[in-house]
Structure 1
């Protein structure tokens, strides 16, 4: 008998003796589907209808004048006895399983022992087990990488190219202001430089000028930075100081180095002139280099800080 798997439509040639009248559960060796194989239906019972019954089927009686027609019908009935009845013919060999062209050793077979797991099923389960292990390993690696990045983010954000955050007074966090934005409207004016011979330390290189607040709101604690360069534009020295402090020529000539530094590093400036600088107001600055380096060719001064006045 020919049995077809209802799942993958594979066909199998199964011995009729192995299938009882009530059917038998079998497993498809192609897709492992379990289904019930039933024996084929038997040939129909009953006798062929008589010629008169055939005539009745056509809704007419046959008389003596129709002997030739009756004879032909009788011959057709006899021929019908020699032929297979409809529904009794066996499935043609052409309707074999798609794998019927395989060799006998590789043709699929139905598994009648449902207590054992097919080898293909074991291999599939083993493959699924390996797949789960690979997924678990990849997930563990991703978690470790995420934990590492989180630790770097928390304790060393500079390695990720992230700007640090400044703590606000209320306990929250707020981003550090852009230094360029903080000083973009502080203008430097009246800048000049000159040398002074000091009695105690030798030659001094002095840069002075004033910083003007062009912001629409007050600024304070403005700081400037001066750099010295040689002819190849190489930096020779750099110094940064708060504005608001200056010395006259006599002081520059007679004061010791420690005294000059102390006078120029007063944070609030002389008379607190570097505090709450209103729009349009200016504050003076002075930067002194002791024993200026040889090869000095030019210098540069820029504003590096200007804080907003707290409301």
Structure 2
């Protein structure tokens, strides 16, 4: 039987067995307590009648609105339907985003494995230019892709300690750079790095090729005198320009009072130029 709340007019569909003398109900919307007026109870299924002082509500008799009883609340049902539709829309959008991410990742992986040079040029995976040739204590050369120095090779590289009466101990690295290009080169520069036993860099020094000093000069000249001799611009321009194909240019790098932790050294060509066109 249908019953209507006299306060807010909310309708409920209740079992006929609930309509007994003295029965009351509480509206789940406005919480108003009102008596249930209806047919008399059948004597076969007579149940205890609740007194007016009993504070039972409609929820107590029928359970909560979610318990399965029809409370005739179409507005709530419509709201739930909209919520479900929104949820479906969000799930579809999420699926589309996941598919796009998978497609983009697959395309990126394909480009990386098929055209790795493209990533190198863009600077996404390290530098596009490798180091210049490097020679370790055993004299082995490392490969480089730097166009202007890739065919410059190191030869007869050696190192030694030399006592100096003014400075103390010198660590000397010398050798030659050979031009294996088919065109002349000039102003070749090398870099020497000293390492300790853990292969950690101690110090490094750059030097233009073209000048070396004698053993006597290494023994008697002071630090400033040796540096002036090894960096003489006139001699550098004389000996380190227009190095023909197959030609070579010497170099010498001097370290003053190096630490005792020096264990090995490395040499690499770091710079070379093309002679100006006539």
Query: How does the TM-score come out when normalised to structure 2?
Result: 0.47
Which structure is larger by alpha-carbon Rg, 1 or 2?
Answer: 1
Query: How does the TM-score come out when normalised to structure 1?
Result: 0.42
